[in-house]
Amino acid sequence: MRGLYIHVPFCSRKCDYCDFTSYADRVKDIDAYLEALRVEAALYAELHGTFDTVYIGGGTPTLLSAHQLKQLVSVTETLTGDSLLKEFTMEANPESVTAEKADILISSGVNRISIGLQSSRPELLKKIGRTVSPEKFAQAWSVFRNAGFRNMNADLMTGLPGQTLDDFRESVKFLSDFKPEHLSLYPLEVHEDTPLGKSGAEENPDGAADMYDEACRILPAAGLERYEISSFAKKGYESRHNLHYWLQEEYLGLGPAAASYINGERRTTTSSLDLWMKELSNGRFPSCTSRETLKGREKDAEKLILGLRLAGGIEIPSNIFIEFKKEFGSETAREFLDIQGCRIKLKPDRMYLANRIFTELI
C-alpha cells in the first residue's frame, strides 16, 4: 500500500521563517487549484485503491472555505478505496478553523489533525513572524476535539531566537494539558531568502539540542514516547503516513512542490503554481524540478538512513549488511549503532546527532 500526499500552497500570510511553497496572495486561485488537482488525480487513476494513508498538508489546508474543503476531500476519494484507508490527516492553522469545517472534515473521513503551536510564548512567536496566539491554538484544539477527533498532533519548535530551556518547558507543559496523541519537534532552520534570514537571525543548534534532550526526558510523563527522531506518540498513534517515508515505501504527491516516490523514482513537481495549473489545464503531467531513480548501493544507503530514524531501527537483509560491513565496523558506527542480528538501530542517546553516522553511510 502507498501514501497519498496533497500539497495545498495557500496561507493567509507568510511566517518569517517559512521556506515551504505557499502563497499568501493567491486565495482567489483556490478554485482553479482544486480543478487542476482533480485533473492531476485523474492522471493517476491506475493507482486507485492502492493507498492506505492520506496526508493533506501545506500551506494551510484549512484556509479553504467549507465548500472548498468538501471538494478537496472529494479529490482524494477519486484515488482512495475507502475500506483500505487507515489514516487521513489534515494540517490545520488555528486562525482558519471553524466548527463547520471540523464537522465537514470528520464526516468526510479525516481522522487525524495536525496543528502548529511552535511555542506557547507569544513574544517568541512574534520573533518568527507567527500571528497565531496560544489562545487561538487552544480554541482550535477544542473545536476539533468537540467535533470528535481523537488523534491529534501538535508541532513544537526548538532553538527559536531568544528561546530558553524554561520557555521550552513551559510550551511542553502548555501542550501536555491538551493531551495530544502525537507531538512533532523541529529545530528552527534559518533560510537565507526568508525575512528571518535577511534579518540576520541565526540558528541555535546547541540550545535546540538541549531542548530536544529535555523533551525526551519529560514527554514520556505525558504518555508520549519517541518513536522517530522528531516524533513522539502515545502507543498506537504513530503516524502511519510518515512510516511510508521512513520505511522507503511508495507515496504519491499531488499539488505544486509535492514529492513522490513511485516505481523506484523520486520526483518533485514544479513549485510554480501557475506552471502547475497551466500544464494540468492542458491535461498534461506537470513538470518536475527533480527526478531520480535510486539503485543499488545508493538505494540501500537511503533505506538505512530512513529506517535508522525510527527508535526501533530496521531489519536489513544480509546483502545490505555485507555491503556496509566496512561502515558498520567504523569507530562512528560503534559510537552510534546498536546492531543485534539483522536489526540495526541508533543508540537512544545518539539519535539527535544521527547526521554524523548518516554522512558516513552515504
Shortest spacing between CB 318 and ligand SF4, in angstroms: 43
Which of 21/111 has CB closer to ligand SF4?
A: 21
**Rounded-to-integer distance, Cα 232 and Cα 181, Å:** 9
Min dist CB 332 to ligand SF4, Å, is 34
> CB 97 → ligand SF4: shortest distance, Å?
13
**Of 124, 128, 210, nearest in space to 165 by CA:** 210
d(CA 5, CA 47): 13
Choose, by CB under 6 A, the member of 1, 14, 47, 354 that binds ligand SF4. 14
Give the nearest residue (CB) to ligand SF4: 18
Q: Which residues of 225-240 are buried (b: 16+ CB within 10 A; e: fewer)?
A: ebbbbbbbbbeebbbb
Contact 223, 234 (CB under 8 A): yes
Q: Angle at the Cα of 78 (from 237 to 9), degrees rounded to 5?
A: 70
Please report how many Cα atoms fall inside a 13 Å half-sphere around the Cα of residue 178, on the Cβ side: 30
Instruction: Decide if residue 255 touches ligand SF4 (CB under 6 A).
Output: no
Nearest distance from C-beta of residue 301 to ligand SF4, angstroms: 30
Q: Assess 15 for contact with ligand SF4 (CB under 6 A).
A: yes
Q: Which of 22, 80, 119, 151 binds ligand SF4 (CB under 6 A)?
A: 22
44-63 positions binding ligand SF4, by CB under 6 A:
58-60
Q: Which is nearer to ligand SF4, 59 or 313 (CB)?
A: 59
| H helix intervals, the chain | 30-43, 66-77, 99-107, 122-127, 134-147, 165-176, 195-198, 205-218, 240-246, 273-281, 296-307, 318-323, 325-328, 331-336, 355-361
Q: Is 93 in the site for ligand SF4 (CB under 6 A)?
A: yes
Which CB sits closer to ligand SF4, 15 or 39? 15
Q: Are 71 and 101 in contact (CB under 8 A)?
A: no
User: Least separation, in Å, of the C-beta of 140 and ligand SF4?
Assistant: 13
Judged by CB under 6 A, how many residues of this single chain contact ligand SF4? 10
- Asked if residue 18 binds ligand SF4 (CB under 6 A), the reply is yes
Residues interacting with ligand SF4, by CB under 6 A?
Answer: 11, 14-15, 18, 20, 22, 58-60, 93
